[in-house]
Amino acid sequence: MPGSVLCFQCHDGGPSDAELYRRYLAASPFAVLVTNRRMDCFEALRHKGIFVTRPGAYGDTLARLCDAFYPLPAGHWRIAAVTGTNGKTTTVKYLEALLGAAGERVLSVGTLGLALNGVDQGVTGFTSPPLVELRRLLAAYQECADVLVTEASSHALHQGRLAGLRFDAAGWTNFTVDHLDYHGTEDGYFAAKAGIVDHLPAGLPLLTTSAAVAERLRQERPGAPVELLTPAAADAGMLGERAFLALGYNRANYALALALAARILAPTGRQLPAAPWRALQGVDGRFETFVCGNRTLVVDFAHTPDALENVLTAIRHAFARARVTTLFGCGGDRDRGKRPLMGAAVCRHADHAIVTSDNPRFEDPRRIIDETLEGMGGCAAAPDVVLDRAEAIRHLFDRLDAAPAHEPQVALIAGKGHERSIDRHGTKTYFSDQDEVARNFARLGWARG
């Protein structure tokens, strides 16, 4: 709007300056532009105020701006942040529940959106919102909450979306290759995530349940203390009431959440309740199960090779006698190199695969599938290809329905999890794997157990 300050960050490998000007700047009535580098269009903006930050100082500049518009009360917020390739959302939701059970007022921010004391407040559209939006949210909720629990994505850490925020606790779940379309190399991806330690006070260890992360961080950040945690043990009572803790990676997420909670609670004297796992609930789209007799369907957000490997390994362990079918797809306009790796992970663990579409964005869905199939030459049976995701789920149910009733069957529907839309050509159309599962249960007359 007229009189506004527009903060505009340019990234390497993106559109040209001329395209950025045409798309975003030419028709905007902003008064002042704050950006991270010189742009070729500055002459056309000569009637605007323009401020170019020093190299690498964009996030710090925005933090100072936010101090003027959305000041943080000194000492008010205690902040815990979680990074990692997989498990961030689950760990944050576990931590939110644990702190709530200890009597804390908690604002959580992440992939599932915004929540206050476990009550949904809407979505932000980001795993980690841009800094101005995050600071606006902190200002809006500072009378209602004292603890911020947030996911810290590699993009957010690299782009300075958390600049100026000091963490009282931070955790790193795991690390596998992802987002190379943005970071370029595995080293670049790791370095971005390692930026989380810069938000911790000197001497406060970063918490992790991954020995590989701890070892690599000690090599690449020798001055940064790291504390390696042991995954939580599970007894029969725990597993009987919280079956999702039978999964090894969920116990690791729980152990990390427990340690982070202890850090956040330490200054207050508050204690976690006995059997704190009773505060946990299943997380939307994370190993969400639907059962009918010998048939079990699992909806999970797994959308990387490592995540598919983990969830399918857990299924094989938990359902040792079952025949396993996996339905999955790969996203468009994202790291193309992981597509055959995802296909290969499915082949290693599933008896049958159905390859379909998953957020093609601006790419040809058939081309995405063809690149995925390049890694599936080792499948026990040729994968089925069903381009339309709703039709693919219907096809999956028909296969399960045709199988002998006495034969245990597990079907993994992977990739979308909590998402409730499909992104095509810049438009998000409502779609829910969970809704499709319910629709097919009703179509076939299955009673949910």
Q: Could you tell me if residue 192 is inside a domain?
A: yes
Kindly state the average pLDDT of the residues 306-332. 93
Kindly state the average pLDDT of the residues 13-31. 93
Strand pairing category for 288-292 and 78-83:
unpaired
Range of the domain at 400: 288-444
Q: How confident is the model at residue 241 (pLDDT cuts 50, 70, 90)?
A: confident
Same domain, 269 and 311: no
Q: What is the CATH number of the domain that holds 208?
A: 3.40.1190.10
Same domain, 92 and 22: no
H/E stretch holding 221 = none
Q: What is the CATH number of the domain that holds 415?
A: 3.90.190.20
Q: How confident is the model at residue 181 (pLDDT cuts 50, 70, 90)?
A: confident
For residues 411 and 327, the answer to whether their CB atoms sit within 8 Å is yes
Q: Could you tell me if residue 63 is inside a domain?
A: no
Please state the domain count of the chain.
Answer: 3
Same domain, 316 and 231: no
Reference 285, options 296, 301, 297; nearest CA is 301
User: According to the model, what pLDDT value does residue 182 have?
Assistant: 80
pTM: 0.82
Is pLDDT of 288 > 80?
A: yes
Same domain, 271 and 379: no
Same domain, 347 and 317: yes
> What is the DSSP track for 279-310?
G--PPTTSSEEEEETTEEEEEE---SHHHHHH
Strands (E), 152-272: 169-172, 206-208, 226-228
Same domain, 12 and 98: no
Lowest mean pLDDT among 58-72, 236-250, 291-305: 236-250
Same domain, 328 and 229: no
Q: What φ, ψ does residue 373 adopt, rounded to 5°?
A: -65, -20
228, 259, 279 - which closes a domain = 279
Q: Could you tell me if residue 66 is inside a domain?
A: no
Same domain, 118 and 219: yes
User: According to the model, what pLDDT value does residue 240 have?
Assistant: 78
Q: Could you tell me if residue 61 is inside a domain?
A: no
CA angle 82/83/84 to nearest 5° reads 130
